[in-house]
Amino acid sequence: MTTHRLQARLITLGTAIVLVVAACGPSGSTTAPGGTTPAGTQPAGTQPAETTGADLPYDLWVPDPQLLADAQAEGTISTIALPASWCNYEEVWTTFIDRTGLTYNGITPDAGSAEELQAIEANKENPGLQAPDVLDIGLAFGPQAKDAGLIEAYKVSTWDSIPDDAKDPDGFWYGDYYGVLAFEVNTEVITDVPGDWADLKDPQYANSIALPGDPRLSSQAIQTVYASALANGGSLDDAAPGLQFWKDVVEAGNFVPTIANAGTIAQGETPITIRWTYNALANRDLSAESGGAPIEVVVPASGRFAGVYVQAISAYAPHPNAAKLWMEFLYSDEGQNLWLNGYCHPIRYQDLVDNDKVPAEQLAQLPDVEGAVFPSLDQVTSASELITAQWDSVVGVDVAE
C-alpha cells in the first residue's frame, strides 16, 4: 500500500539531509561562537576605545612585516579558554583580526587552566582546529607546562619591561595581567555593603555569601579561601585560617552553597560573592547596561590578594608564527592597554605608567589595589593543596543522607 511511498519519502528526506549537512555544514569560513563579535552587539564592560591614534598616549601596534607575512601564510590563530568578557579579550582579538587579517579560532572559552594543558597534550599530532597555539594559564601551570614539554620559549620584543618575578628566565612563560580579589555586591538586596573580610561573618548577611566556584576545583574559589586567610590571622605561608574563616561564615548562617554566577547575583540568590576585580567590574557594567541589579565592587580594606596569569606558546602549535605575532600584539603598549580597559592590570603596568602610556581616564577607573600581596609559585601550590584536601573536613557541610 503506502510502503513504497513511505520508502520514497524516507529516501528523499535522507538525501536532503545529507545534502544540507554537506553544503551548509561548517566550511572553512564558519567560526565557532566564541570567535568573532556578532554584528551589532557592544562588547560588554568596556569603555568605547575606538578613539583615533592621535588621542591616545601610546602608539598603535605595528606588526613586524616578516612575522606578519609568515603568520598570514598560516592564516589562523587558535586560542583557548578566552571568554569575551574576561579582561576585554573580545576587543583584543577583534583588534588583532583587523590589524592582521588572520582568522580567529577561539577554542572552548570556558575551559580551565588544566584543560588547556590537556588540549595540547591530546592534540600533539593534530593540525586541526582543536589544537591551541597559545595559552593563558594560572601561574602554577607555567612551570608545570614547561616540565611537561608542552610549551616553547619565545621572548617578545618588550621582554625586558616584564617584571622578573613574573616570567620564566628562559622565556617559556611570562605573566600577562593580574587582578585583586574583591567583593561583588548586589546593592538592591544588600544595603549595607561589607568593607572587609571580617564583615562577612556579620549575621546581617544571612544566606547571602557564595563562592565563585567549587573550592575543590576552581582556581578562583581556592584563591578566595587563600585570600581570606590573610585577614584571619594567617599569611601567604599559612592558608589554614582561611578554611577556619569559611567555617565561621557557614556557622554564622551566611553561606549559600551554590556557585555564584551573573544570573544568581542578579536574581539575588547570591548577592555577595568574591571575584577578581576585572570580572566583578565587567559584570557591574554589564548589569548596569542590561537592566540587572545595581552592583558595587569593593576591594577589601585588608587582605588584598593578587593573582597572576601567564602566557605561553604551545610547542605543538599548528600556527607557530601566528602565535608569535599574537604575543607581540599582547605585549605591545596597545595590547596592554586593551587589557587595562577590561579592568585588568597588565603585567607591564608599572612600565606604562612610568612612561605615561596610559590614558588618564583609564587610570581613574582602575580600582585601588595598594598593598596587594602576590603569592609566589610555591606558596600558591602548597596553599591549593591544603585547601582542596581539607575543605571537606574543615568546612564541608556533610550532606550524605
Partner 1 sequence: MSSAEQTTPVTAPKRPARTASTWSWLGVLPFFLWAVMFIALPAAFLFVGSFLLRDGSVGLQNYADLTTGAILPAFANSIYLSFFSALIGAIFGFLLAAAVILGNLPRFMRSALMTFSGVASNFAGVPLALAFVFTLGNLGLVTKMLAETFGFNLRATGFSLYSMEGLILVYLYFQFPLMVLVIAPSIDGLRREWREAAENLGATPYQFWRKVALPILMPSILGAGILLFGNAFGAQATAFQLSGGTIPLATLMISSQMSGDVLFNPGLGYAVAMGMVAIMAVSIVAYSVLQRRSESWLRR
Partner 2 sequence: MSGGGSAPPFGPLGVMRSWLRLSGSPRARRGSGAWWAWLVVILGILYFFVPLAATLEFSLRACAPPNQPCTAPDFSAYANTFDDPFFFSTLAFSFVVGLVTIVISLLIIVPTAYWVRLRVPRLRPVVEFVTLLPFVIPPVVLVFGLIRIYSRPPLLVTATNFGSVALLVAAYVVLSFPYMYRAVDAGLAAMDVRVLTEAAQSMGAGWRKILWSVIFPNLRTAALSGAFLTLAIVVGEFTIGNFLAPYGFGPYISLLGRDKIFEPAAVSLISFGLTWLAMIFLALVGRGRGSRVQVAGAR
349, containing H or E segment: helix 349-354
Residue 385 interacts with partner 1 (CB under 8 A)? yes
All three cell numbers of 1, joined, read 500500500
Is 40 an interacting residue with respect to partner 2 (CB under 8 A)? Answer: yes
Please provide the distance, in angstroms rounded to a whole number, between the alpha carbons at the two ends of the chain.
Answer: 59
CA distance 140 to 308: 9
The kind and range of the H/E element at 104 are strand 103-107
Instruction: Decide: is 215 part of the binding site for partner 1 (CB under 8 A).
Output: yes
Residue 42 identity (one-letter amino acid): Q
CB neighbourhood size of 397 (10 A): 9
Residue 399 exposed, middle or buried by CB count within 10 Å (0-12, 13-18, 19+):
exposed
- Residue 256: CB minimum distance to partner 1, A: 7
Q: Is 25 in the site for partner 2 (CB under 8 A)?
A: yes
Q: Which of 82, 84, 117, 322 binds partner 1 (CB under 8 A)?
A: 117
Question: Contacting partner 2 (CB under 8 A), which of 122, 148, 353, 363?
Answer: 122
126 in contact with partner 1 (CB under 8 A) = no
Cell numbers at 338, concatenated = 586593551
**Nearest alpha-carbon partner for 62 in 100, 108, 11:** 100
For position 217 contacting partner 2 by CB under 8 A, the verdict is: no
For partner 2, the closer of residues 41 and 52 by Cβ is 41
Residues between 58 and 87 that touch partner 2 (CB under 8 A): 83-85
**How near is the Cβ of 378 to partner 1 at its closest, in Å?**
14
Least separation in angstroms between CB 123 and partner 1: 15
| 144 contributes a contact to partner 2 by CB under 8 A | no
How many angstroms separate the CA atoms of 26 and 10, rounded? 25
Any contact of residue 252 with partner 1 (CB under 8 A)? no
CB distance 218 to 113 below 8 Å: no
Stretch that binds partner 1, among 44-52, 82-90, 265-273, 313-321 (CB under 8 A): 265-273
The H or E element spanning position 98 is helix 89-100
Least Å distance, CB 344 to partner 2, is 16
The pattern of x and - marking residues 172 through 191 that bind partner 1 according to CB under 8 A reads -----------------x--
d(CA 192, CA 287): 19
| Residue 126 is a binding residue for partner 2 (CB under 8 A) | yes
Q: Which of 7, 207, 290, 355 is in the footprint of partner 1 by CB under 8 A?
A: 207
Within 10 A of 138 (CB to CB), how many other CB atoms are there?
21
C-alpha grid cell, residue 295: 552592583
296 is a contact residue toward partner 1 (CB under 8 A):
no
How many residues at the interface with partner 2, by CB under 8 A? Answer: 56
Q: Of partner 1, partner 2, none, which one sits near residue 290, judging by CB under 5 to 8 A according to partner kind?
A: partner 2
- 100's contact among partner 1, partner 2, none, with CB below 5 to 8 A by partner kind, is none
Residue number, 14 or 195, with CB nearest to partner 1: 14
* Site for partner 1 contains 37 (CB under 8 A): no
The residues, ordered by sequence, that sit 6+ positions from 9 with a Cβ below 8 Å of its Cβ are: none
As a whole number of angstroms, the distance between CA 54 and CA 339 comes to: 20
Got the DSSP string for 359-377? Answer: -HHHHHHS---TT-B---H
* Residue 217 sits in the site that holds partner 1 (CB under 8 A): yes
Rounded-to-integer distance, Cα 219 and Cα 12, Å:
52
Distance in angstroms (rounded) separating the CA atoms of residues 277 and 203: 25
Q: Note whether 286 binds partner 2 by CB under 8 A.
A: yes
Length of the chain counted residue by residue: 401
| Positions in the binding site for partner 1 (CB under 8 A) | 111-115, 117-118, 138, 140, 144, 189, 207, 210-211, 214-222, 256-259, 261, 263-264, 267-269, 384-385, 388-389, 391-392, 396-397, 399-401
| Positions in the binding site for partner 2 (CB under 8 A) | 1-3, 6-7, 14, 17-18, 20-22, 24-28, 30, 32-34, 38-41, 44, 83-85, 107-110, 118-119, 122-130, 261-263, 266-267, 283, 286-292
